Each structure stands twice: as C-alpha cells, then as structure tokens.
Structure 1
Amino acid sequence: MAGAGGCAVAAARLLRLTAGDGRDRRVRRRRAAVLLTVAAAVVGATVAVLPLAPAFHRAEVAAVGLGAATLGYALGLLLLPGHSRLTPRTRWRRGVDILGLGAALLFAGWVLVPPGPVPPVVRAVTVAGAVVLAGLLVGALDRHYPGTARCRLGVAAVLLGLADLVVLLAYRAPAVALLTAVPLLVGGALLTAAGMTRAAAGDPAVPTGPSPAWPRVTAPAAVATVAAAGHLAFVGGFTPTAVLLGLAVIPPLVAREFISITDQRRWAGRLAAREAYFRTLVAGGRDLVLVLDDELRVRWLSAAGERWFGLRQEAVCGRPLADLLHPDDAPGVLTRLAGRPGNAAAPLPGDAVAPLLVARMRTGDGGWRETESTVSDQRTVPEVAAVVLHVRDVGDRRRPERGRPRGAATDPLTGLSTRRELLRVLDERGGTPGALLLLDVHGLGPARDAAGPDPLLAATARRLRDVVGPRDLVARLSGEEFAVVTDAGPVPAYALGERLLAALTEPCPVPTGMARLRVGVGLTELAATSPQDAVRQADLARRRAVQLGRNRVEWYDACLEEELVRRLDLERELPGAADRGELDLVYQPVLALADRRPAGIEALLRWRSPVLGTVLPAEFLPVAEDLGLLGELGRWVLDRACRQLADWSVGGRELWLAVNVTLAELLAPDLVPRVAAVLAGHGVPAERLVLEIAESRLGADLPTVVARLAGLRSLGVRTALDSFRAEHASLAQLRRLPIDLLKVQPRPVDPDEDARPLIDVVVGLGERLGVTVVMAELESEPDVARATRAGCRYGQGFALARPATAERVEAYFAEFPTTSR
C-alpha cells in the first residue's frame, strides 16, 4: 500500500503537467507527461492489486504490470529532449555502454538467483530487465539534459522495484521481504515526477565537454565483480552458462576503453590545434600582450615583446608592471589597474572617461617607448584569472604631432613623406596615369629616437632616394613599410621595382656586422581610383610578394583579390572535411600496354565541398600543408584506399593500388607501423599496395627518404617514384632509391628535346635495376604507341582510362575476366 500510495502521488504530480491547449509549443513534453502518468498509474495499480490476487498467480500479475509500465515509460522517455539529437558517433558509444552494463547486469541476475530450478518468469525478467535497466542507467549519465536524466534514473528505480517484486513473489519469499521494493517504487516514482517537472519547464541544454568515461567502464566491472564474489561465497562454482555470461562483459569494456582513448585524443587534438592557432595569431602581431596576476606582476608576454620592444621573457616575467613603466606614468596606470575587477580601466575621480592607458614603457636597451594600452580584466574568469594588456607603440605617430605643426608631411627619422602626405598627393593626382609601389622591408630594427635614427633605417631611406626619379614621391608608412609614387607607365614602374629590390637587398654594414634585408614589393597602376583603393590594391600585391617568399615584385590584378578570398575560404572549410564526409577518392586504372588489361589502379583524392564545389589536390594540399592537416588527410586516404582494395579483392582480382604520399608523410617516424596496421586491419596483402612519392619532392633529405623507403619494402609494400622526368639529371640518383616502380613522364621539360631516346634509356635502365616502368600521362594514341615501342610494359593516362568513382571502375573491371600481372 505504501508503494501504491507513492505512485499515486507521483501520478498526480505528473497529471498537472499535461494541462495546456493544442497550440502549446511543448506538445511533445505534454504527451510525454501523459505517458509517464499512465505508466505511474499502472505501477500503482499493479502494486495495489497484488494482495487481492491468488498467491500462486501474484508473480505473473507483477510481471504483466512490469511489462505494461515498461512500455509506457519507454514511449514517454522517447518524447523527452536529448534523444533525437544524438549523433551517430554518440549512438554508437551509448550502444557499447548499454551492451557492457547490460551484460554485467544479466550476469549478476543469472548467478545471484537461489540454487535450483529457476521459474521462467524470473529468467524472462532477468534478461529483459538487464537490457532495459542498462539503457536507462546509461542514459541517466547524460549531463546535457538534467531533467531527462532524472526521469531515466527514476524510471530505472521503479522498474527495478517491480522486478524485485516479481522475483520475490516467484520464490514465495516472506511478506516482510516485499518491503524492500517500497523505497525503489516510491523514490523512483517521485524522482520521475521531479525530472519531468524540470523537463516541462524547458530543461535547457548544458554546454559541457565530453562526459566522464569512468562510470561507464567501472560500473559494469564492479557489478560483475560483486556478483561473482557473492556467488562464490554463498553458492560455489559457476555453470558453463554463467562463465560465458561473465566473459561477455569483457569485450564491451575493451571497446569502451578504446572509444575513451579515441575521444581523449580527438579532444586533445582539437585543443592543441586551437592553442596553436591562437598562439600563431598572438606571436605574429605587432601589439605587445602582457598578462598580469592579481598583484600586477608580469606572468607572460607575447613574442612582440622581444621583437619590437627588446624585452625578453626570462628578464620580465615575475617583475612588477611598475618596473616597466616610466616613474611619472606608473602611479596613474597602477591606480586604474588596481580598481575593482571588471572595471580596471575606470577613470580616476574627476577625470574624463579614458578608454586607453597612456604611458611610457621601458625597452630592452634602456630607452622609453610611448605606448597606448587597452585593458581586458579577466580576474573573475577562473580559466584566466589575470589582467590582460594589449600594448601598442604610438611613438612614430606622436613624435610629428609634438615636434611639428598638425598635418606635418615629413617623417622625422628618415626625412621621407608620411602616410598623410602620400594620401594627399594621390588625391591631388586624380586620374593622372602612374603607379604606386608598396615595399615591405623585413629586417629593420625598432627606431631609437634617444640615440638618433637607426643606421639601417637611414641607409634604407638613402637607397630609396638614390633609385627613384626626381619627381617620384617616397614615403614611410610605418616601421617597415615604404611607398613610392611614380609617373612612369606600367613597364617602367615594374623596372623601377626591380631596381629598388636590387638596391635594398644589397648587404648593408652595421655596427654588428653586415645586415641583409628581405623585401617584398607590391605594384598597382594609378587610374580612376581613390587614394585608399590604390593603397589597398598595392598592399594586396605586397602581401602576395611576402607570401611567396619576398625578394620579388608582384602586380595587382583583379584576380588577386579573388585568389585571396579563395585562399581564406579554403583555410576556413578544409579543417574537419574528413569528419564531415566531404573527402572522396577516384581511381584511374593502370593498364598493360600489350593487351590493354588492368594491372593496377591509382587512388586520387578529391574534396567535394558543399560550399566550394569539387576541389583538386593541387589547390588544397598546399593549404593543408600550411594548416598542418597533411597527416590527417594522408591517414584518411590510406585507410579508404585499402578498404576499397579489400572489397575489390573479394572478387579474386589481383590488382595493385597506388597511393600518393607527400614528403612530410614519408619522413614521419610512424609511417611504417601505421601502414602495417592499416594493411592488417583491412586484410590486404602488403605487395598489393604501392606508395608513390613525387621525384620533385625528394629535396635534400635523400638519406632519410632512402631509409624510409627501405622500411616500407621490408613490410612487403612496393614503392614508386612518381613524376620522373626522362632527363639526364634524374638518372643519377635512380640507383640510390629502393623503389619497385618508376612512373615516367612521356615529355621532357625542354620542348625541343626528343623524348624517345631518353625514354628508351629509362626503360633499359629500369630493366637492369629490376624496376617496373609505368608510362604516365598518356594523353593520346601516339603517346601510347611511343611508350609501347620503347618497351614499356604499363601505361596510365586519359588515352587508356580516365579517373572515375569506385562504382564506375567496378563496371569497367567487369569487361575483363582476369587482370594482367
């Protein structure tokens, strides 16, 4: 009666949550409340009628009530939030958790029943209850929706109480033993009502990281261990069935441990990538970033401290901020920073609101630099707990303002024009033809106004004046940026850029030795554009020159902005492309030239981006290299290619499959064991895999390349040298490389050179060295005929077969009963 009363109270609380009209947006939650109310009523009714039922039928009555309540609770829980939003990866992880806990509960229920014949209803409840309870308990560990988790935990308690009644009644246990089910029934029903109340109120999702894995691994092991110990203590040995059930607990635990390790590596990789990304942003900036603790001591400073201010990390960290500030400016700055958290830059009483902290800061050589600082007080954020200063050098901007009338047009350190003067001259020119050159001079040190101009800066300004014409304007825009405005046409302006480049890159004597500057020049024509547009266009060309390695002159054209936007789009979309299923492989057959039958196939990577369309490797692989994603893409390609090769091998086709690897992948120390693991995982013979490395990518690290190729060959994997040009320079190192296949280009670099003799030499040398020669890029039948006459056995190219998807290649294979060896 106590259990029935508790269920009645819970049902009444749930019934109040079902109120509302059809227009209520929470109709799913109201339906869930109705189903949970019905289930609670069924439980209460089942418990209430047990005393009225015949003693020998009470176990069956309780089992029927248990089944009906389970159905009602299951339908109600499926309507609560959190279930439909599970990703496939999460569903797989949860399935493994349920399998592990279910096996442990089934083992416990199997071995803890009293010895002797077991009633069928007990066996049925044991098997079904283990699965249901495992699913509810695993779902209750979800921290994103606390209300739903409480409902699942409450339902698990109620169903466990009913299962307890079924077992006790089946074994005709004393009446006092039935009271053990009362706490489970009452507590579970009330907990279900409390969780449904929270879920009906909205139960907002809690943004958390990955939930802890230890309960999912520890709970099944603990349940199985306790059950086994109890059985050994009170019963004795195990039956074969019990042993099998106990062993069934182990595979899910192993799988869950593997999933946990994979999740931890994935989260660690994401964290490391984000940290590296933000470190790169901070390290490349010109602003100095200072992190201060509660006592306003320097905890960390960015790389700009040593680059622009001459402040070294070990000399500054741990020192009070006051030691870096001018004695006249330190009191005001420290007073503002000592304010209450969240208002560190608040003005002093009676002061006007000042968004910036203005102060003179000490440099590494003992001088002072005029700075402006923005303050971000993060002392209330536990993960940061610091004050962050973003310090900007404003000395170059303020010196002309102090020493000259407002609007001065000359830089005081170099005597060149200023940015303001440059914009004024460009504005006055209107649509007059001419050109603007923007120069990035890398290697200039910070200006030292206390000891006069830096000698390297003065030499740079002098060389600029010596090269330009008398009517050309030379301006200094910032510390390392200069500009030249000339009336010359496009071609003479480009020649002027080359002369400027040659003059500025000449070694320059300085007190410490000889300095070498690296210069990037951007050039744009002056037409009917505004001064701001002209500077922007020249700056884009300058950026391109810097990206390409400096010491070059780059034109601006309309495609430059498109390429820059395209590059930014690629950098934004490429990370995570493999996880989103956007990568694909196409396959190009390699045919035997004698009978035109397929002997091998090459896997070619494609990126099917929903935003950018199909992107070829030549475009996105350089971006992937800059982003550090080549390893991830290489692992995906190798795994997918070997999986496809394993599928094709089922039909008895003995094809070899070639996969391209970059030099970075080849030099990776884990390449050989990783390839061995992939081959073993897919059951692919090692001799069926060919790894190709482009000849142009070998570089200077040839000994390491030779060692890595030898390691692959020791596994049985064949290696190939791709894009081998039939030229005399490439033949010298062919003997040093442990390769099995040689993919030769049919045409030499020099169009005037005859390719036939060189191809004959390569094929003959390949036969002497035991290397199989494959003629690549056969685009026409004359190319195929030339390769055949040279004695080449295999060929690849559009004239033989075009790259296609796996399905089309399978249809192509169907035309050939067997394959060439």
Structure 2
Amino acid sequence: MNDVASLFDEVLPPLSQQLDTYYEALNFLNIPVWVFDIDYRRVYWANDSALFVWKADNLEELLARDMGADMSLTVAQRLAQYQQDFISQPECTFTEQWTLYPLGLPVVTTVIFSGHRLADGRMGMLCEARPIDEHAPESRRSVEALLHTSVMITLYSREGIPLYRNPAARSSTLHPEETLQDRIQHSNQSFSLSTVLSANNLSSFSLPVDTPHGARWHEISARVCRDAVSGQEAILVSETDITSVKETEAMAHHQAMHDSLTGLPNRIHAMEHFDRIISSCDSGKVEAAMLFIDLDRFKDVNDSLGHNAGDELLVEISERLKKVIKKDDLLARLGGDEFLIMRACADVKTEVLRLKVLLLNVISTPVLINGVEVRVTPSIGVSLFPNDGNSMETLLRHADLAMYSAKEAGRNGLAFYHAQLSEQVVKRVKLESDLRLAFERKEFVLHYQPRVSVQTGKIIGVEALVRWYHPERGLVFPDAFIPICESNGMIRQLGKEVLDIATKQQAIWAQQGQPISVAINISPQQIKHDGFFEEIVEIVMRNKCNPRLIELEITESTLLGNDQQVHNFLSAVESMGMSIALDDFGVGYSNLIYLQRFPIKTLKIDKSFIQGLEENKALASLVVSMCQLMGFTAVAEGVETEAQMKWVAEQAIEEYQGYYFSKPLPLAEINQLLAIR
C-alpha cells in the first residue's frame, strides 16, 4: 500500500465519527490527497494541496462541484471497476496517469488509488497525486487514448501475471488478478500462443472468453515486449470484441446450411454431414439407408390453392417428419417437395420397412389449409450403403431413381434401388427426346371411348383419349408420356394438338349425320396459361365445330382455392356453349362448395367406386345420390362387368363408359361402331 494510505490507517481510529479529526492531519502533507465518493461522483474530502490541484478556493466550493456532470462514460466505468475491486480486495491499489480537468483546464498527474470506507460505510476512494515530468502532447494523448479506447489492452509478465490493464480490459475480466492462462481457458489455444510467441514473438487468433457479461468472442493479438518499469520480458495483449461478427457469421452459416421455409437442413448440410454418418458404418456391422421422399401431386396443391398453401403444407409435413426420425438420423429438405432421411443401423433394410409404415401414415394424413382438406401421399425411393454406392452423389441419384419407380408403381409406396433402374432412366431420357420429335412427325392420334345411355344403350358421345404411335415401340399409352409432358411443359402443346384433332373430327361426324358430343381432357397447366381461351375459340372457329357438342373435362384439383382465373375461364367456356365435366369425382378434394361455385354440368364418378362395389358400395351410393341431389348429370366410369352394369342401372345413373360396352377405339373402329348404333 502507498505511504499516505499507510499513514491514514495508522492515524485513524476505527470510529467513523472521528474521521474529520484525522482528515485534518492530512493537511500537513504537501502531497495532494483527496477522498472521492464514487457513488455520487463528488469529492468527499480534500487537503489544502489537493485544493490547489483542483483550483478550488476552499473545501466547501470543491465539495459542491458535480464531477459527474461532464464525466465520460469510460471514466465512470473505470471508477465503478475500482469500487468493485476495493470491495473484493481491500488491500489493492492502482497507479495510473490521469488527466484531471479542474475548471475545464487539463492537469496531468500520476494518481495512486486505494479503497476508503466513508462514514456511512460505503466504499469510496482515497486519491494521492504525485507530480510528474512535463510530457509531450503526444504522450498525454496516448494516455487518454488508452483510457477511452474500447480496445482491451493488457500487459502481462512472461509468466502471465497482469502488470497493467486499461479500463476496457479491466471491464472484461472476472477478477483483477486474472492471469493470461485464466484468460485463455482452452489448453490447445494456450499451447498455440506459447508456441507461436516463442517462435515469432507474435500471435493472433480468436476464441471465446468468459467475461462479466457472459461468453464473448475476442480477436486477440499478442506480442513479446519489455516491461518499461522492470525491464523484464513481457507480453502485450490487445483484444477486440468480435461477438457480433461471429454471430453474423453463425447466422449466415446456418442460413446457408438450412432451408429457409422449414428450418430443416438443406442439401449442402446433408452433403457435409454424409461422412459423419457413413463413418459409423466403417466396422462393417452397420449399414445406412438413404430415403428420398417426394410428395405425390404436390403440384396440384400449388396450382389450385396457390404457393402459400403449398408452403404451409410443406411446413406441416416437415414437422411430422421430425416426429418419426431418430436422434442420429439426418432429415433434410432437398428443395421443392423433396425430403431426405438418412439412417444408419445394424439391420437397415428391416428398419426401412418399419419406417415406411410410419412415413406413409404421417404424410398421407389430411391437412386442413384455408378450410380445404388437402391430402398428399409419398413416393419413397431407397438406396443402401454400401451396396448401392459409397458417395453421397451416387446414393442420392440411386434413391431418386427408386423414388420414380415407386411413382410408376402407383405412388404412395416405397421402392428400393436396383441396377435395372439405371437402364430405365436411359430409356426415359430417350423417350423424352422421342417425344419432341413426335410433335414434328405428327405421331399423336386419338382413340375414342363411347359414352353410352344407360336407359337406351345407345352411344350419345365419346371421350377423346390421346395415344402415341412410336415408330419403334408401337402404340404408347398416355401413362407413359403424359407425366413427362407435364414435367417439361410439353403438356400445353400436346393439349392444343388434341383439341385441334378432336374438334376437327366432331365437325366431320356432324357433316356425316353423326352429331355426337366429344369430351376432351384439359390440364390445369393449360387453364393457367394466359391466352388459352383464345386458342380454343380460334381452333373451334377454324374447324367449324359446334361448341355445344364439345365437353371439356377437368380434374377436381383445378377447382381448389379461390382462383378467379379458373372461374373466369370456365365461365367464358360456358358462355361459348361448351359444357364442363368433372373427371374422377370422389377421390380427390371433393367439396360441395366448389361444385356450386363453378359452371359444372357433369360429374364422372371415378372407376374405383364402380370396380370396388363390394368394398365401398355404401359410399358409392352416397356419391351418386349427391350428384342427383345437386342436379348434375352422372356418368359412371370403368364399368366392366354385368354386375357393375346392373348396379349402375339400379342407381338411375344416366350414362356410363367402360369395357363392358367398349374399350377406347381408333378412328376407323369407332366409325364402324357409330355406323351401326
């Protein structure tokens, strides 16, 4: 402790009431001494020498000064640090060069600070000023800069003992005697610092540091220097708080590695964590499975209800998937409606089959969106490590192929990868290339399936169904090429060609005395395309077709949502004289509100009700009753047996079509059938 503080302790008795008496004793000292009240930021007492330093006429005038009025935040924080240190370590002292500002004039002095209890028991500060030599302006300013800078500057001995800290550094330490080793708690970082300093006398790195404000990230620079007082080797450390930078980096990294909509890991994240999962399989006793999940008919939701509804559905599905995966599984959203699950275990194939049941159940459970019950199903493709590949790219590609195999098998199922699937991809690519040529070569034709009156047994119309006469494969049915056309945008061109052929043929039949109606399927993509109605008008007028004998068939998904464009299109079609039929009724998003909102004339009851009468006869009867109650023309699809035909007649259904009467026929054969009707 300094000399004045020692004298102070020897002279003062323990009773605070006698403080004034002993303060008087300090007046005999030529050294300026004063007591500072840190809490109220005022001088509590000063001797005559201190009055001279503070340029005060008397003690009363000095005590009345509000030192906090123009005190900087940095100085206030420094004084608060002193107070806490004096409370925790009463014997500690600090010697620093300060610039005082009595009456606004700078006075540079060295001040020794020590703790001092005030009369009411609060911790104040005893200040002893020592004269210093006159310094150059640059030296004074450097001292002020150290006081006010936010950069944390600490001088340590070579052993890591603190020799000096500026206010910023002191405010970030947990206690005044914190060593450099305490500061760098991670042993590997401490070893790195020691090694680098020994080799280059300079080191720079960033690491987390425990501070009174919690863990913070600091950018630390350290260099070997000399202690100006002892001349011994020392370490000068400067620290800058880079927590905000680290948090921004962490946020950017998280965003780069996660899907912004669902919060799930994305493809990049999955690629980076692939090795971690596969490493658990190195022993040969563990296998891994990659499950590629695609939502069936998700596009219908986007096209009908809008992309916001599609996003809501994706979020809900992702939440459900989180509940079925295990802790060590990887769940990611690859983009669009595609999800990925990766699982490693001893008997992975058995585990996949167990997981299949869960996935089919949680994904296919209906979701209520904007008052509409939406149901999608999953098609799941699986590839196994190491049998189907050793890299993320290979396993993902093979799982994707298996997923398409699941779709081709009827959707809502799971398929494992096998080598033949790669051959099928080559065939599919070739098929798409051939499709483009098919338009140029006019290889698309129509087959026509009769629509028959239940009461009279006569043909009253036909449904136009597209077929492709491939030069090598022969007749190709629409299930093989319609999905490709829908995925690559060719469906609009195909739909336009079908409309042209069908309306032209309807006009020919009318000229031949066969004025039958022709039903033509159109896709949601065509309806969403601006100018489609104008295309219909142009084709009908060019082919001189009677629009009243043309019926456009749409699917239920087309009607979902509150899409004014769809409503306007159907209304325009109706005003032109054409009629609208709803195809595959009863298996999609059946909703009476939609049926009443749009100008629909005919409901075509899906063949699953007709062909599954034994299982759902009551439900089929209910669907028929609803059609009749609402005044729609009911058409039974897929009638194949006499028993089915009998049930259709009993239900008073007006029309039917199916193999019981005739399969779809090429033009020459349907002409023969019409000739004898």
State TM-score, norm by structure 1: 0.38
Q: Considering fraction of residues, name the structure with more helix.
A: 1
Structure with greater proportional strand content: 2
Considering only CA atoms, is the larger Rg found in Structure 1 or Structure 2? Answer: 2
